[in-house]
Amino acid sequence: MRDELKKTIQLLWPYQDFDHLGMAIFSLKEQSFDLCEFHQGEEKSIPHFYFDLASITKPLTMGALAVKNPRLFTEDKRLLLEHRAGLPAWAILGKKGWRDTLEHFEINQSQVLYSDLSMLRLMLILERETGKSLQELSSFYFDKEMCFWKELPENALCPDTGFRNKKVINGVVNDDNCFKINHFCPHAGLFATLGGVTQSLLNLEREVELLKFMSGELDKSHDRFVWGWDTVSNPQETLAGRGAPVKTFGHLGFTGTSVWIDADSGRGWILLTNATKKYWYHRKSLNQLRRDLGTLIWS
């Protein structure tokens, strides 16, 4: 399996817009994993190399918290968590008035509309009700090599993930709203080494029995998002890879990241890249890689 995955990465590498890649195959049930990294096309491991996880932050904060303490999530909060609360997908937030902007939106049950604002509004409600920061609430299982971007260790190395104000983004969160908010966020902002995010998922399973919880919830009728985790809508076209089991859940990240887990077997995989290094709007080659790697793993 490992050799086949490496061959696929090498075959598709020339068509990619990233120059750094990390891939993990893991088993939450067996608490085991296998890691593979490529940097500038060469297979090698670089210590303290932190990727911007982008929207994988959503399930790793809100999704993890929901599994740990589902009673926190009343009906309105569950709508926000699952992108069914009628909030717009996105908006340009200000450095000072972002809280007022988010509080302005009414929560009304709607069809699924994937929304960063929904997660941010949920954060404000939870922090107000619990008297704790989202970071305090959700970081209970974090490995030492997964952290808020403002807390990257001094020896951290990071890939370039794009440009902001004509300057290269490196070691700083790619998401503009997260950058301006300058606050631990639920929609973006976590950075991790490949080993760090993988170990964190193993920790989460030990702490809250993620597989048992998600397997039970996925047995029920559900929309696309379940307790903050994405699911497979079209098995033939899914970016989790063809052949993904029916109870596969996970998430994608804007910078070119992915995590997918089968709730029944406990098998899963992670892909970390810096696919936004040159531009953000070309996804065809990245998505082909995502599908091909996933198809190999599930087979």
Indicate whether 280 pLDDT > 90.
no
Distance CA 261, CA 76 (A): 27
The tens digit of pLDDT for each residue in 49-63 reads 999 999 999 999 999
In terms of Cα–Cα distance, which of 261, 79, 277 is closest to 168? 277
- CATH, domain range 2-38+58-298: 3.40.710.10
Cα-to-chain-centroid distance, residue 7: 25
pLDDT band at 1 (very low <50, low <70, confident <90, very high): confident
Percent of residues, the chain, with pLDDT higher than 70: 100
- Per the CB < 8 A criterion, the answer to whether 60 and 190 are in contact is yes
- For the whole model, what pTM was predicted? 0.97
Domain boundaries, the chain: 2-38+58-298
The tens digit of pLDDT for each residue in 131-165 reads 999 999 999 999 999 999 999 999 999 999 999 99
Question: What's the pLDDT score for residue 279?
Answer: 85
The tens digit of pLDDT for each residue in 5-24 reads 999 999 999 999 999 999 99
pLDDT band at 284 (very low <50, low <70, confident <90, very high): very high
What distances in angstroms separate CA 289 from CA 183, 195, 268, 271, one per listed residue?
Answer: 33, 21, 16, 10
Indicate whether 236 pLDDT > 90.
no
Provide the mean pLDDT of the chain. Answer: 97
pLDDT band at 75 (very low <50, low <70, confident <90, very high): very high
Question: What's the pLDDT score for residue 251?
Answer: 98
